[in-house]
Amino acid sequence: MHSEDVHKRFGRLEVLKGVSLEVTKGETVCIIGPSGSGKTTFLRCINHLEKIDDGRIEVNGQLIGYRQKKGKLVEDSERNIARQRTQIGMVFQRFNLFPHKTALENVIEAPVHVLGTPKEQAVGLGKALLGRVGLADKVDAYPGKLSGGQQQRVAIARALAMGPALMLFDEPTSALDPEVTGEVLSVMEELARAGTTMIVVTHEMGFARKAANRVVMMDDGLIIEDGTPEHFFEAPTHERTKQFLSKIL
Q: Does residue 23 contact residue 199 with C-beta atoms inside 8 Å? A: yes
Piece in contact with other proteins (CB under 8 A), picked from 26-34, 96-104, 183-191, 233-241: 96-104
Q: With binding defined as CB under 8 A, does residue 67 bind other proteins?
A: no
Q: With binding defined as CB under 8 A, does residue 74 bind other proteins?
A: no
Helix (H, G, I), strand (E, B) or coil at 225: strand
E strands, 43-159, in order: 54-59, 62-63, 66-69, 72-75, 88-91
How far is 65 from 76, CA to CA, in rounded Å? Answer: 5
For other proteins, the closer of residues 167 and 224 by Cβ is 167
Q: With binding defined as CB under 8 A, does residue 166 bind other proteins?
A: no
Q: Contacting other proteins (CB under 8 A), which of 110, 165, 175, 245?
A: 110
- Residue span 111-140 as binding mask against other proteins, x where in contact by CB under 8 A, dash where not: --xxx-------------------------
How far is 84 from 91, CA to CA, in rounded Å? Answer: 16
Q: Select from 206, 197, 195, 143 the least CA-distant residue to 173.
A: 206
For other proteins, the closer of residues 129 and 224 by Cβ is 129
- Residue span 8-47 as binding mask against other proteins, x where in contact by CB under 8 A, dash where not: ---------------------------------------x
- Other CB atoms within 10 Å distance of the CB of residue 61: 6
Which residues sit opposite 200 in a β-bridge?
A: 30, 169
For other proteins, the closer of residues 99 and 206 by Cβ is 99
- Residue span 144-163 as binding mask against other proteins, x where in contact by CB under 8 A, dash where not: xx---------x--xx--x-
Q: With binding defined as CB under 8 A, does residue 240 bind other proteins?
A: no
How far is 66 from 56, CA to CA, in rounded Å? Answer: 8
Q: Does residue 45 contact residue 38 with C-beta atoms inside 8 Å? A: no
Q: Which residues bind other proteins (CB under 8 A)?
A: 47, 49, 78-79, 82-83, 85-86, 88-90, 92, 94, 96-102, 109-110, 113-115, 142-145, 155, 158-159, 162
